Amino acid sequence: MFPESNKGLSYEDCKATADWLLTQTDMRPTVGIVCGSGLGGLADLLKDQVAFNYEDIPNFPQSTVHGHAGRLVFGTMKGKPCVCMQGRFHLYEGYPIQKRFVVWFYSQITLPMRVFKLLGVQTVVITNAAGGLNQDFKVGDIMIIKDHINLPGFAGNNPLVGPNDERFGVRFPCMSDAYDRDLQQLAMEVGQELGYGDFLKEGVYCVLGGPSFETIAECRMLHLLGVDAVGMSTVHEVIVARHCGMRVFALSLITNLAVTDYDSEEKANHEDVLQAGNQRAEQMEQLVSSVVNRIEPNNNYI
């Protein structure tokens, strides 16, 4: 199942994937969108769709998680050419963490970000389902991500581990501006215009490896670190997108509340995550599409 070397996917491999896609559609996307668990309906907003199953795309990994359709969809959203991942890839989907495989499995998980770049994408919009740690959050809140903590990265599990290819980006990319502040401000303004003020928040997201949900002690620790929401995705995509020079805007839908009380009977489960995603999907889709509508190709917004 796994390769014998840790060579990883090269620039040429990523370019071959992008070139294949460009021969299959006339769409030239400037915005890339990643749909989180239960949020695949974002792709259904695209007009003039051309869709590809991941299994049919050269070099693409496969999505194995319930709630992720496993399709790459090209189309227009509010007149903007977009490409949308209907399903993403996670650390826990069978990729080994042994050191000799680390380059390869991260290359697989974050390959779409590099393909986005080679397709001409300038701005990436990333969504996820997350557990709320902030005591002021409720299920159904939408959190604009302003920063992240890459907890696996503390152990050296970073998607940029391995030889650096300058054609993608610099060896030591800055991450203090990982999340575009102008787009955060735009999203807040759009949210107020849409009447979302009661459930639109902002905060810090932390990624864990999964697939098990967090223990009570882990949740308490993360809360002390200043984490507002926790999940199992997004951060690795953000790091690679920024390494490639793309702007990033990211949202978490709070689909469950992290358990921090030993007397609580609450238990996190994936079915509740999907259900919460479905209940808030329309507002999430409206917010994303309205933000995309006001993103200009020159990396400004209106």
Structural domains of the chain, with CATH:
11-293 (3.40.50.1580)
Active site residue 270: yes
Cα 104 from Cα 220, distance rounded (Å): 33
Q: Which of 53, 69, 92, 278 is catalytic?
A: 92
Predicted local confidence at residue 6, as pLDDT: 44
> How many angstroms separate the most distant Cα atoms in the chain?
57
The amino acid that residue 180 corresponds to is: D
DSSP 260: -
Of the candidates 54, 63, 68, 77, the residue annotated as catalytic is: 68
256 is an active site residue: yes
Separation CA 255–CA 142 (nearest Å): 9
Does the annotation mark 233 as catalytic? yes
pLDDT string in tens for the chain (302-residue length): 344 444 567 899 999 999 999 999 999 999 999 998 777 888 888 999 999 999 999 988 877 665 557 899 999 998 999 999 998 887 776 644 344 556 666 678 899 999 999 999 999 999 999 999 999 999 999 999 999 999 999 988 899 998 999 999 999 999 999 999 999 999 999 999 999 999 999 999 999 988 899 999 999 999 999 999 999 999 999 999 999 999 999 999 999 899 898 988 887 776 766 776 677 888 999 999 999 999 876 555 54
The tokens for 242 are 């920024």
Of 259, 266, 206, 213, nearest to 235 (Cα)?
206
Q: How far apart, in whole angstroms, are the C-alpha atoms of residue 150 and residue 128?
A: 15
pTM above 0.85? yes
Nearest to 250 by CA among 195, 206, 211: 206
Looking at the DSSP bridge assignments, the partners of residue 149 are 206
Q: Is 299 a catalytic residue?
A: no
